[in-house]
A and B are shown apart, each in its own frame.
Chain A
């Protein structure tokens, strides 16, 4: 048994088989054989070894011919490894006696050697680890041949383990079968975290290197609350976690009994609880929890699944599905928020500093046809329900006006073509750059609503890259500077009497609910799974209580004091929610 500590980014517990993403993107299939399949599988193993050996011989000859014989020599060593009698007898024994599948046996055995080589002091020996990975891949490729299970067409549940997941990798995963994620790098707010949250499955990131300790098919436990990953768990640990899963089911069922009760404080002030979604199917998650609407519909994922740009119809179909399901409740659609960490296809060049680069609204304004396509689809969908348009990452007035002008332009276009849409569609912006807060009195005069995006606001305010583990601890919503910016935004919206919402991870964390209510927020957009918990907090407090909490917090000078004070206050109200 081996435990890894990472950063908890999506709650929940999952127990299941590992899918290791580094083995060339295919899955090591089922782990055990039936007794009568053993001989056949041993034969398959022999054939894979023979095929791998002839590939290596071919490589050796080619390289020797083109570069000289000394360069072919490393392949001699690879061949010798394939012929290694110890290796073969270990594999035979695993297959014959333990009924491991050849794929699993190879991965297990070779990774053990990798581990030994990696632990050696001498440099050249550590390089041998790379040779072993090479041989593993070659053997697996030969073994699996055409039968290899592509990760896009899984047939049974898996926990995905990877060095780092790119948006296109997660987009290509068959999500129906993914039960959890672990990545070696990344921080809170990384792409993996967002996807895991959308799927409502546990995720742990930033564990540091561990992939050489695990093989596809191994049993793994992901504890998304504690940020723990357990490899090869023992029986006792498995039993403990199974029990934990049961307990949670009961707790969830209890919270779900709140579904049909309004989100209202104890003194009768109504709070709007909206859901954040990524994919149209998540509307169901929102409705199950009694969401008042969709506060953040992220549309990036329309762009990430394939290399081709989605056309207007693809956009429209997705939006229409969401709107129909929401039956008249508001749906805030955020225009594309791509660039930076999230997508490569549309970026011009490699950016030295992508978070300060051509992303979000800047990318849209630079690629007008792309932007217009999306806006046309959103506007057409506005004929079907309460659509609201939201621009991300607005940092200057000019940007906002330009974006609004494109909307007006597209409206004219639709009118000319006689296509129905809602002329009075509400247009708002995200507040996630400090410059927008400094100018907020000007902005509120030109938008119908605001939505505070804390994930980016925190990183731009504190100058912290949340996915850089060396500084990730500096990234916190509790920082007084961040809270001050939120307060300024809420007050400006209040003076103008326009709605202000808060999305981002902070709003789904019950630790901040009292404070945010006290600062005057009445709208929260949260991951659907967090709705019952936030509703429970709202129903347990009065606004007066919350205002007292906020007033005290705003006198504090550092994040740590604020966090511990908030913890104490929440404990007074709902002790069971403070871990």
Chain B
């Protein structure tokens, strides 16, 4: 019962999607079975590949479309959108 869903988010943390947020995004994405992709304008990258994510150069204010395709697509989008909206909860990240 595969399904496809999308969600639009805006990067708000001041440093943008730099190494640590990207790492956290990938860590979250890989917890889900669904295929995750990120779309910025005409660019589309694999949401489970940190190198690809970094090539987006998503600075603060960038609008991103998260696209999930798979059995847990909705849950994945919830988790990822929350992560971005909460500025990648850097404090939580640092406790890891």
User: Hey, which bits of chain A sit against chain B, CB under 8 A?
Assistant: 69-70, 73-74, 76-77, 80-81, 83-87, 113, 116-117, 120-122, 124-125, 128, 131
Contacts of A70 in B (CB 8 A): 94
Q: How many residues in B have their beta carbons less than 8 Å from beta carbons of A?
A: 23
Known: A120-B57, A124-B15, A125-B57. Is A76-B52 also a contact (CB below 8 A)?
Answer: no
Say whether B42 faces chain A, with CB atoms less than 8 Å apart: no
Establish whether residues B46 and A86, one from each chain, have CB atoms under 8 Å apart when the complex forms.
Answer: yes
Q: How far is the CA of A76 from the CA of B15 in the complex (A)?
A: 17
Known: A80-B26, A117-B54, A117-B55. Is A125-B18 also a contact (CB below 8 A)?
Answer: yes
B70 shortest CB reach to chain A, Å: 15
**Partner pick for A76 among B23, B48, B59, CB 8 A cutoff:** B23
Nearest residue, chain A, Cβ from B54: A128
30 contacts between A and B (CB under 8 A): A69-B94, A73-B20, A73-B93, A74-B19, A76-B20, A76-B96, A77-B19, A77-B20, A77-B23, A77-B50, A80-B22, A80-B23, A80-B26, A80-B50, A81-B51, A83-B50, A84-B49, A85-B48, A85-B49, A86-B46, A86-B49, A87-B49, A113-B55, A117-B55, A124-B15, A125-B16, A125-B18, A125-B57, A128-B18, A128-B19
Main secondary structure of the interface of A (DSSP, over half): helix
Nearest residue, chain A, Cβ from B19: A77
Contacts of A120 in B (CB 8 A): 55, 57
Contacts of A131 in B (CB 8 A): 19
Say whether B31 faces chain A, with CB atoms less than 8 Å apart: no
Contacts of B57 in A (CB 8 A): 120-122, 125
| Most B Cβ at <10 Å: residue of A74, A85, A125, A131 | A125
Establish whether residues B22 and A77, one from each chain, have CB atoms under 8 Å apart when the complex forms.
Answer: yes
User: Hey, which bits of chain B sit against chain A, CB under 8 A?
Assistant: 15-16, 18-20, 22-23, 26-27, 46, 48-52, 54-55, 57, 59, 93-96
Establish whether residues B51 and A125, one from each chain, have CB atoms under 8 Å apart when the complex forms.
Answer: no
Nearest residue, chain B, Cβ from A113: B51
Q: How far is the CA of A73 from the CA of B19 in the complex (A)?
A: 9
Establish whether residues B23 and A122, one from each chain, have CB atoms under 8 Å apart when the complex forms.
Answer: no
Contacts of B27 in A (CB 8 A): 80
Contacts of B16 in A (CB 8 A): 122, 124-125
Establish whether residues B55 and A116, one from each chain, have CB atoms under 8 Å apart when the complex forms.
Answer: yes
| Most A Cβ at <10 Å: residue of B20, B57, B93 | B57
Q: How far is the CA of A436 from the CA of B18 in the complex (A)?
A: 60
Known: A77-B20, A77-B22, A131-B19. Is A125-B49 also a contact (CB below 8 A)?
Answer: no
